[in-house]
Structure 1
Amino acid sequence: MKLVLHSYTFRRYPLRHVFAVARRYGWDGVELVHFHFDPARVEDEVAAAVALGRRYGVAIHCVGYTGGFVGDDPVDRAASLALARRTIDACARHGIELVNGWSGTLERDPDDWRRNGSAIAEERHYDRAAEGYRQLGEYAGRLGVRVGVEVYPGSVHDTVATTARLLDMVDHPAVFATADPGNAYVVSPADRDPEILDQFAGRLGYFHLKNLHPDGGRANFNVDTADGVLDNYAWITKASALGVPAICVEYCGTGDPHPPIARAGNYVRDCLALRDDLDRRHQVAESVPVGMSRPTGSPVLAGAEAAAVLAAEGAAALAGAPGSGR
């Protein structure tokens, strides 16, 4: 699984800073969003970003698009889709296999995410979103690019359920879901349980990770990835079990983003290492014949030798040894 740094984290810094930080902390790639390029010049901007990333030894994993193809103006919808196609073209030209974004927003109350997006969407909005993504899926599929539909506040796909509904309507293999539990927590109580990701089984192509504290109808993102109300160990391991190929970490709060994003990378790696260690411990414990056990307070193992090996493996994994995910 790849670990990707979202460039929004460093939205107040130049792109070269994003690449330098990504290299410093060993991230596998960067998600490039419009804070670091001009969408109107997407061809030249993506080319320049790719060249800059090569100088730092960091690849662009994904490029963001901002859709606007659910509104009432057909001219605006056509222009939005044309720009998304140009973004896909630019990615295909440079071997970037993923674009990610949303179809547009419907807003009634900017201070309460629960009153926007799917809460006020009508069937025509879903029809427009589905038709737009069918077009983009056909176009991107021919070029070897995939289109991510992010669970995003204010969009018709602002929860897992509404995103799954839209994907059912689109029904194209090049169009898939980007889960973002931090975006949906305030919008939908159902989106507070990692098991809801089963609705994306076979269609979860990307994952955005952050954390939050609820603030009325909005989210307060001034919190580390390991803190807040989301049990991100559960979300990370669930997404991994569903085969997600990459997790993109972002810090959306204010202040200095460097400490929280550095801690976030280590946190994700340690979650995966802990998951692997616990899986090994479960396997060993479940291999012990019925009636055999070790004294209370010690791991249940198949013998002293197995206990020693398992302890050594666990310590190595959590220390970041090869194979631990670090």
Structure 2
Amino acid sequence: MKVYAASVLLYAFSLEETLQIARELGYDGVEVWHYHLLASKESPAKLRQLAQELNLSLSLHALSWDLNFTSQLPGVRESSLELLMSSIDVAAELGANPVIVHPGRITAPNDDPELYWPLLIDGVTRLARHSASRGINLSMEVMEHIPKEFFITPSDANRLLSAVEADNVAITFDAAHVPWDIQPLAYLTQLARVDHVHISDANAGKIHLPLGNGERDFRPLLRYVSHQMSACITIEGMEYSRTTALAKRNKEQYDLLLRQSDSDYPLI
């Protein structure tokens, strides 16, 4: 099981520096945020070569801020899809696979989510077709239970997979998005096809905390993923200062949890 660093754990660094730091800290790969690449203005081809030299695997987190490809406004919807397709193109240049995509959201707060499902299915079908043409896998992320999100449960994920029927589409499971009263492993095992896992800590009131700073017990989850799945894990978080402390601490805590999971928890 490979462990990746989200590039935004080192957002103040260039991506060239980020790849080098990730390798020094013992990560197996980096999930490059496309927005990080836009901000740093680096060459995808050069980053691809550097990743190969460092023996790092890459995935890509597609653009998500300000995008909504299920918007009821056609202009917003189409421009969002165009930008997501540009993320897929960048992933092909980087040699990054899969591309992690946030689903669309509800436009008006009181709308019925069912109104948005045809737009979601159509959008993912178009993205999957473009991804396949570039040799890229698409991984749709199940979101947290907050206003306007409607792709938020295992049944939503499984419904989408059944509707799209594309071999290159799978699901990203984000442990921080699991409702607090549900165990992450119980949630994960309800998902039909997961190829990517996001992990960060949480407590009852806040998500995306550094590992070890929350109250989740991730040892059963890590035990299951490491022994029963072929998915990669990305450690998430956001650091705006020019420091490696967050990326370093997260990797140390992850390694500790992984060691403990091997000794403390039987396979289910």
Structure 2 length normalisation: TM-score?
0.81
SS at match of 1:214: coil
How many Å separate the matches in 1 of 2:122 and 2:104?
Answer: 13
Counterpart for residue 38 of structure 1: 38
Q: Which runs of 5+ in 2 are unaligned?
A: none
Query: C-alpha root-mean-square deviation of aligned residues, in Å?
Result: 3.1
Q: Helix, strand or coil: the match of 1:145? A: coil
* 1:246-302 Cα deviation digits (max 9, x unpaired): 1000224787863343232233334334444457xx79xxxxxxxxxxxxxxxxxxx
Highest Rg: 1 or 2? 1
Q: In structure 1, what is the Cα distance between the partners aligned to 2:155 and 2:135? A: 27
- 1:210 Cα deviation from its structure 2 partner: 0.3
**Where does 1:199-214 land on structure 2 (aligned, <5 Å)?**
199-201=190-192, 203-214=193-204
Cα distance in 1 for partners of 2:223, 2:243 equals 25
The CA deviation string for residues 114-145 of structure 1, in whole angstroms up to 9 with x for no partner, is xx7xx955212122111111122223224321
Is contact 1:210–1:250 with CA below 8 Å preserved after alignment?
yes
Preserved contact between residue 10 and residue 257 of structure 1 (Cα < 8 Å): yes
Q: Is the 8 A contact 1:151 1:184 kept in 2?
A: no
The one-letter amino acid paired with 1:47 is A
Select the structure with the greater relative contact order (CA < 8 A; seq sep ≥ 6): 2
CA–CA distance in structure 2, aligned partners of residues 121 and 8 of structure 1: 34
Q: Is the 8 A contact 2:222 2:261 kept in 1?
A: no
2:22 matched to which residue of 1?
Answer: 22
User: 1:8–1:161: structure 2 CA closer, same or farther, 3 Å change rule?
Assistant: farther
Give the letter for the 2:202 counterpart: L
Aligned pairs (5 A) from 1:299-318 = none
Number of aligned residue pairs: 260
Aligned-partner Cα distance in 1 for 2:100–2:90: 14
Is 1:147 the equivalent of 2:138? yes
Q: Give aligned-pair identity as a percent.
A: 21
- The aligned residue for residue 160 of structure 2 is 166
- The one-letter amino acid paired with 1:157 is F
Query: What is residue 59 of structure 1 aligned with on the other side?
Result: 56
Determine if contact 2:137/2:168 at 8 Å carries over to the other structure: yes
Do the aligned residues in 2 keep the contact of 1:50 with 1:59 (CA within 8 Å)? no
Q: Deviations over 1:196-241 (max 9, x none)?
A: 212224x1100001002233xxx254x4313412211122223334
- Return the letter of the residue paired with 1:62: S
Q: Judge which range, 157-166 or 23-32, deviates more.
A: 157-166
Counterpart contact for 1:19–1:30, Cα < 8 Å: yes
The question of whether the paired residues in 1 share the 8 Å contact of 2:176 and 2:207 is answered with no
2:128 to 137, 151, 154: 137
Q: Which residue of 2 aligns with 1:314?
A: none
CA spacing shift, 1:34–1:274, aligned 2, 3 Å:
same
> Which SS does the other structure have where 1:38 is aligned?
helix
Unaligned runs of 5+ in 1: 109-115, 284-326
TM-score w.r.t. length of structure 1: 0.68
